[in-house]
Chains A and B, each alone.
Chain A
Amino acid sequence: MADQEVVISCRNLWKVFGDGAEKLDLTPRTTVEALRRSGHVAAVRDVSLDIRKGEMLVVMGLSGSGKSTLVRCLARLIEATAGEVLVEGRDIGKLGEGELIDLRRRKMGMVFQSFGLLPHRTALENVAFPLEMRGQDRASRIARASEMLALVGLKGREGYFPRELSGGQQQRVGIARSLAVEPDIWFLDEPFSALDPLIRREMQDEFLRLKGMMAKTIVFITHDFDEALRLADRIAIMKDGAVEQCDTPERIVMAPATEYVAKFTSAVDRSRVVRAGALARPVAGAAVEGAAVAADETLHGLARMLLCDPRARIPVAGRDGALVGLMDREAAVEIVLGPVA
């Protein structure tokens, strides 16, 4: 993944609310307290991130941590106070209104926490809305919208109004709408937070299914750590507007960069996060015996085998069958059983 080109890149991004915020001299050393003294509130503090093509970045943080503001800066729904956002190499802060509209019409899709559906339009008309805005003809946009609704499992509900659909169904409409223009970049702002736990799980599965079908660059916002672990390629954990750590789920769990991240991860069942590949060490002349386990299998999935297997080192193989390395069984069992109480 690392060799893919960078699609979204933000450099020293700041969003500060308050009078005269654009005149502030914002450096990485500017503190929250200093801003508060001058009557300002920093929602996003000096964030630098690179998101690569086809990657899914989950931005995780508690409410008020600035994650929603961050994604709105990336989509330029709000103007950043300082720093720049490059989308495919172009600074979107410098785009004219027409260029920005064009970018949204062709490249971006967004899903919102409370769905943001237009109440006076049917499900079909909602999905067709972005196509209508870019002037697509009626027949083709209805065909495309019907196709999208079928894709999210709402075939037969085309004529329903948002009010007549359940929360989960409304969010399916929101997802279908955001995908209607075949965007390369997909923003999801806490898409499942407003849903019941059971529906949320179902929608996450649905999301993973859709994600597997298409190669999109995804920025996904959530306050639910389990959701983040379940969906992410990389997780950025935010606190008070700044990114505390941005890394793969395994590394976040195994090697938290700050105390705050450690506190978050302490309650997590590591065996469900850590995959065999993460524990694989170079063979370095050691004996490779028996069948290999898959590198993307979680330790939780391997738990029974880990406890019974007599081997001290278990070979780990990648998806293509090639040997990745050896996993120390005892270390793996240690993670499965958790720390000694």
Chain B
Amino acid sequence: MMGVRVAAGGMRPDRVTVARGLLAVALALVVLKGVLPDWVMRLPEGMVLPFADWINAGFAFLRDDLGLMAFTRAFADVVEFLLDVTANLLYGKSRWPDLGPIPWVVIAGTMAVIGHALGGWRLAALSGGTFVWIAVMGQWKWAMETLSVIVVAAPLSVALGLLAGIAAWRWRGVERVLNPLLNIAQSMPHFAYMIPVVVFIGVGPKAGAIVTIIFSVPPMIRMTMLGLRGVSPEIIESGKMCGTTRWQLMTRVRLPAARTELLIGVNQVIMQSLAMVVLASFIGMPGLGQKLLQLLQALKIGLSVEIGITIVLLAVVLDRLTKAWAHRQPVHHAAGASFALRHRMALVWLGIVVAGVILAQLSPYFVEVERKQALSLAGPVDAVVDVVITGVGPVTDWLRWFLITWVLIPLRDGFLALPVLAVLIFLAGVGWRVGGQRSALVCLAFFLPIALSGWWDRAMITVYMVAVSVALALAVGLPLGLYGAAKPARAGRVLLVCDTLQTFPSFIYLIPVIMLFGVNDVAVVAAVMVFATVPIVRYTIEGLRGVPSEVVEAAEMSGANRRQVMWRVKLPLAVPTLLVGANQSVMFALFMVIIAAFIGTQDLGQEMQRALSTTDVGKGLTLGFAVAFIGLMVDHLLLTWSRERGAALRTGV
């Protein structure tokens, strides 16, 4: 309680007054909108700025006058060559080097060996088992189409990210330019990246790979900067005293010492790549994503569940493998260990490869499982789903009717009925309350362009969907987090579940909700809500766990009961962390709302899909920036609030 009072008292009083004033003005505008002129409601046509035309002109300049096209095509040709190599090796596309396809038993065995080397038997079973599943379910070709892109895109992203990260670490100027770019890049929805790529490269695997590279570079840049900054000064000094040149210092001291952060970066690159590759089906990228899209559009639930399981398994395997790699600590060999003992894993792997090749010679089943030989869960899954749907049908139907009629439509209409000026003043008020004049200006700087872009109504629909979903996610996630944090062992388990759920590509969340609710706004809100609940649960648990035990013990010794400890001590102290969780929840929700566009929404996402199909770069990027600006504004507000509270509580986040 002390902390809260201090926080409130520490805020300059005029900040609260100014904020109240602004909020009162906003409220007055809403109440009086009937008697106010039209330009309070919506900005007049004349004030709408043609951002799209400007962007298009800029792109035309880049493409035609600067000859960027030739450069991008050249880069694309290199990528295409690499893609052909991996495509040949992984699924036997007839291209150089004409060695493939590598039999699936060899690849599954290799993955098992890698799993064992990085994380022991359990990871070996998970990793090998996933590839066996893919093969016997007859999804080998699709999965390999997807992986052939990741195998090319991820290393290129890592290399680019490493170079850019080192440059930003080395020169402050580069960092100053890069930081805001990264902020925007990381809050732009996936689709916004696709449109320019389609313009410059066209559609297909090549475009899919390039959009994947662009999309997955930012986290690598950030982790490289973080890693290089975090190397202990003594290690660097000891390197210098050993007489290293700058190059030696970078390659033998700084980069190896930043190993863990760099590998976490690799992990994020791979997970982003997977998410993007699945979505790149929208621009003609073959593979698991395209299959899933087709099946979902045809409402073939059983088959899409099969593909969904494969994508989830791949995500979990790639995540666990790279994390195990990042956290692996070197262990010495016993003195005088023989060559065979020191290279045991390599020898086992060689054995598996030889055995696999022999098996493949004996039966083509071990090269690739034909469709007709494949197992399928689709039949039973469809049957179970039918039973479940008929069982819960009345409930979901009622829920759908209730939500649409009594919650979603009224709220949407309410959001649309708000005058532009009232929203802007309201946001300025909120900004002022949270971070004073500066935050108020930041909020306006992010939201005014949206009003000026002419996409206000669409943006308000996006805002309403995100608001509803995050509100529901809070309602579900907070109690779940409280429940999870009650016991340490349970907290560990719940966090593991959250971790795993977060590795799933967002697309996956659409399968069950379409199954339950069909194709409408409720399905979208449900998918977004589930997706946005995960970070809330996670940060609630971490916030509560992060409360220092002495503080809790002190409260208990003061005679507080469990309820009082929770409400008076733990929750107030966990607020900064909770706010970070809420912020991530909003980011997740925004991304998901945009992705969910293809099941039919009327927000920015739907327009973005239209821009994608007509390859309208200007429109696409304008919409992308609109989404990014909504995200960045929320990000600014919540993180500023969290920081202020953290500082007031002297805990920090």
Query: Which residues in A have some Cβ–Cβ distance to B below 8 Å?
Result: 72, 75, 77, 97, 101-102, 104-105, 108-110, 112-122, 129-130, 133-134, 156, 158-161, 163-164, 174, 177-178, 181, 187
Contacts and interface: CB of A to CB of B under 8 A. Distances in A.
Contact of B235 (A110, A118, A159, A161): A118
Contacts of A75: 241
A311 to B, nearest CB: 53
Contacts of A161: 329-332
A119 B257 contact: yes
Contacts of B242: 104-105, 129-130, 133, 177
B237 interface: yes
A119 B258 CA distance: 10
Given A120-B257, A120-B330, A159 B335 contact: yes
A164 B331 contact: yes
Q: Please list the 10 inter-chain residue pairs (A to B) with the smallest Cβ-Cβ separation, ordered nearest first.
A: A116-B238, A105-B243, A130-B242, A116-B234, A159-B332, A104-B243, A110-B241, A120-B256, A112-B234, A161-B330
Nearest to B236: A116
Contacts of B332: 122, 159-161, 164
Contacts of B17: none
Nearest to A157: B332
Nearest to A164: B332
Nearest to A163: B329
B240 interface: yes
Contacts of A160: 332
A57 to B, nearest CB: 18
By CB atoms of chain B within 10 A, which of A75, A129, A174 has the most?
A129
Interface in B245-262: 245-246, 248, 252-253, 256-257, 259
B333 interface: yes
B243 A102 contact: yes
A113 B331 contact: no
B234 to A, nearest CB: 4
B232 interface: yes
A156 B332 CA distance: 12
A114 B234 contact: yes
Contacts of B238: 110, 112, 115-118, 174, 177
A110 B237 contact: yes
Contacts of A105: 242-243
Interface string B321-364: 00000000111110100000000000000000000000000000
A164 B641 CA distance: 43
A57 B246 CA distance: 31
A101 B245 contact: yes
Nearest to A122: B332
Nearest to A134: B243
A76 to B, nearest CB: 9
Contacts of A119: 256-257, 259
B297 interface: no
Interface in B219-237: 232, 234-235, 237
A101 B239 CA distance: 11
B232 A116 contact: yes
Contacts of B259: 119-120
A163 to B, nearest CB: 6
Interface residues of B, number: 25
Contacts of B240: 77, 104
B241 A109 contact: yes
A122 B256 CA distance: 13
B564 interface: no
A122 B332 CA distance: 8
A129 B241 CA distance: 11
Contact of B234 (A97, A109, A113, A164): A113
B244 interface: yes
A159 to B, nearest CB: 4
Given A133-B243, A177-B242, A115 B335 contact: no
A159 B341 CA distance: 15
Given A118-B257, A164-B332, A77 B237 contact: yes
Interface string B126-144: 0000000000000000000
A75 B236 CA distance: 14
Interface in B239-289: 239-246, 248, 252-253, 256-257, 259
A116 B329 contact: no
Contacts of B253: 118
A121 B330 CA distance: 9
A109 B242 CA distance: 7
A133 B248 contact: yes
B256 to A, nearest CB: 5
Contacts of A134: 243
A121 B237 CA distance: 16
A72 to B, nearest CB: 7
A219 to B, nearest CB: 13
Nearest to B260: A119
Contacts of B252: 118, 129, 133
Contact of A104 (B235, B241, B256, B257): B241
Contacts of A156: 335
Contacts of A158: 335
Contacts of B335: 156, 158-159
Contacts of A120: 256-257, 259, 330
A108 B242 CA distance: 8
Contacts of B248: 133
17 contacts: A72-B237, A104-B242, A108-B241, A110-B241, A112-B234, A112-B238, A113-B234, A114-B232, A116-B235, A117-B238, A118-B238, A118-B252, A133-B242, A133-B248, A133-B252, A163-B329, A164-B332
By CB atoms of chain B within 10 A, which of A112, A164, A174 has the most?
A112
A201 B246 CA distance: 37
A177 B241 CA distance: 10
A181 B252 CA distance: 18
A122 B335 CA distance: 13
Interface string B425-465: 00000000000000000000000000000000000000000
A329 B248 CA distance: 61
A102 B240 CA distance: 11
B352 to A, nearest CB: 28
A159 B333 contact: yes
Contacts of B329: 161, 163
B237 A112 contact: yes
Nearest to B244: A133
A158 B333 CA distance: 10
Contacts of A97: 245-246
B631 to A, nearest CB: 36
A101 B244 contact: yes
Nearest to B333: A159
A77 B243 contact: no
B55 to A, nearest CB: 41
Contacts of A101: 243-245
Contacts of B331: 161, 164
Contacts of A181: 243
A115 B330 CA distance: 18
Nearest to B235: A116
A108 B240 CA distance: 11
B242 to A, nearest CB: 4
By CB atoms of chain B within 10 A, which of A97, A118, A134, A158 has the most?
A118
A108 B241 CA distance: 7
Nearest to B234: A116
A110 B234 CA distance: 11
Contacts of B232: 114, 116
B243 A116 contact: no
B533 to A, nearest CB: 38
Contacts of A104: 240-243
A133 to B, nearest CB: 5
By CB atoms of chain B within 10 A, which of A113, A116, A130, A163 has the most?
A116
